[in-house]
């Protein structure tokens, strides 16, 4: 009898965990966005690193990066794959951070989550950096019972699609070494992102 009771509790635990994980993805996005804004408008010296660490803790960022590369993933030497992922992660993060950065801390309004299927949803938000709101939509997918961000759409422009098209064109004539060089140049350019409204 004891074994059945134990089994029941284990089942209940997994069921509760499953339900918790599959609830409205906007809850987690709201919490994360608010924390990112806190860091962004803090006096921290290393904002990028702190945000990256915080986001990595809450989301599997490799998903969005792998999606920006799409089929080009196989064109990257296996020895370079990790480095490419890290560099693109920083580039995409920089684009996101600069999009959220303004003279004053923006106000974010969250609209109702749109469920496209059991495993796909969109969380539309409006970022008020000035009088005119910026439409920013998070596309999320259920991966291992967690809602993970797989694309960010700013004013109808998908970050994943825009970068993926560039990688497609880049790999027509270049190698992964050239990509690393290009990404490092972009990231070390001190002007990058100073006026980057994605």
Left, alpha or beta for 192 (phi > 0: left; psi -120 to 50: alpha)?
Answer: beta
Please give the residues from 48 up to 67 whose contact with other proteins meets the rule CB under 8 A: 60, 63, 66-67
**Which member of 78, 117, 188, 191 binds other proteins (CB under 8 A)?**
191
**Cβ atoms of 95 and 196 closer than 8 Å:** yes
Measured from the Cβ of residue 51, the count of other Cβ atoms closer than 10 Å reads 23
Q: Does 188 bind other proteins (CB under 8 A)?
A: no
Q: Does residue number 25 form part of the binding site for other proteins (CB under 8 A)?
A: no
3-state secondary structure of 39: helix
Question: Smallest distance, Å, CB 56 to other proteins?
Answer: 15
Smallest distance from the beta carbon of 90 to other proteins, in angstroms?
11
H-helix or E-strand containing 147?
A: strand 146-154
Q: Binding string, 134-163, against other proteins, x = CB under 8 A? A: -------xxxxx--x-x----xxxx--xxx
Distances (CA, A) of 138 to 51, 81, 171, 174: 17, 25, 27, 31
Contact of 98 with 51, CB cutoff 8 Å = no
Pick between residue 11 and residue 42 the one whose CB is nearest to other proteins: 11
Pairing of strands 134-143, 146-154: antiparallel
Is residue 100 a contact residue for other proteins (CB under 8 A)? no
| Cβ closest to other proteins, residue 38 vs residue 164 | 164
Site for other proteins, rule CB under 8 A? 7, 11, 14, 18, 60, 63, 66-67, 70-71, 91, 94-95, 98, 119, 141-145, 148, 150, 155-158, 161-170, 179, 182-183, 186, 189, 191-193, 195-198
């Amino acid at each position: 009898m004891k074994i059945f009771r134990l089994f029941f509790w284990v089942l209940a635990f997994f069921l509760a965990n499953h339900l918790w994980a599959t609830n409205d993805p906007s809850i987690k996005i709201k919490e994360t966005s608010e924390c990112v804004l806190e860091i962004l408008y803090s006096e921290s010296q290393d904002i990028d690193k702190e945000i990256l660490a915080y986001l990595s803790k809450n989301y599997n960022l490799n998903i969005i990066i792998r999606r920006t590369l799409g089929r080009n993933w196989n064109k990257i030497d296996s020895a370079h794959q990790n480095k490419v992922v890290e560099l693109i992660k920083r580039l995409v993060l920089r684009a996101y951070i600069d999009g959220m950065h303004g003279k004053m801390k923006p106000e974010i309004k969250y609209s109702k989550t749109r469920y496209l299927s059991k495993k796909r949803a969109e969380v539309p938000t409006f970022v008020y950096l000035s009088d005119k709101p910026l439409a920013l939509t998070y596309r999320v997918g259920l991966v291992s019972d967690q809602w993970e961000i797989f694309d960010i759409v700013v004013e109808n422009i998908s970050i994943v699609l825009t970068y993926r098209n560039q990688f497609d064109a880049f790999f027509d004539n270049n190698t992964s070494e050239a990509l690393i060089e290009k990404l490092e140049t972009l990231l070390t350019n001190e002007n990058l992102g100073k006026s980057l409204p994605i």
